[in-house]
A = this chain, B = another copy of it.
Amino acid sequence: MRRQEGPSRRSRCPLNASLEVFGDSWSLMIVRDLMLRGARTFNEFLDGGEGIATNILTNRLQRLAAEGILIKARSTADHRKYLYRLTEKGIDLAPVLAEMIVWGARYEDTDAPPAVIREMELHPEEFLSQVRKQWKNRRSEPGG
């Protein structure tokens, strides 16, 4: 019970607040898998995130849920499954994600498709609106 929330104990700076929420290696990967790769179940995160352990994944999903970035709910189609989806707060991480992807693609050695990166870089607002549009449609839980 070490990590209780409380309205940002002493880190008033916005950057610190953000870092407290997703300032680790895994949280943003989970958000990316959710946002850009269509991952929705525990095991889809396990595959997509580069080798995260199950206990760490559980921990991060709980933290992100506690922060209101994602929501966990039982699948209506398959009752054994849980489905995770982004909240508005989580979707609004898209610009952060996009800038990190653009920077990584520019300066590190990656295999990112240049077209997608250029799209993110040159038309960020279109990228964001596409993400939003996809998440509008996803309410209907297709293929759950």
Contacts and interface: CB of A to CB of B under 8 A. Distances in A.
Interface stretch (A39-47, A57-65, A98-106): A98-106
A14 B99 contact: no
Contacts of A8: 108-110
A19 B100 contact: yes
A132 to B, nearest CB: 15
Interface in A45-99: 50, 89, 92-93, 95-99
Task: Across the A-B interface, give the 7 residue pairs with the lowest CB-CB distance, nearest first.
Answer: A14-B104, A17-B108, A18-B104, A17-B104, A14-B105, A12-B111, A7-B109
A112 B18 contact: no
Given A12-B109, A17-B108, A96-B96, 7 more contacts: A14-B100, A17-B107, A20-B25, A24-B24, A95-B99, A96-B99, A96-B103
A93 B104 contact: no
A14 B102 contact: yes
14 contacts: A7-B109, A8-B109, A12-B110, A12-B111, A12-B112, A14-B104, A14-B105, A14-B112, A16-B29, A21-B108, A23-B28, A92-B103, A96-B100, A96-B103
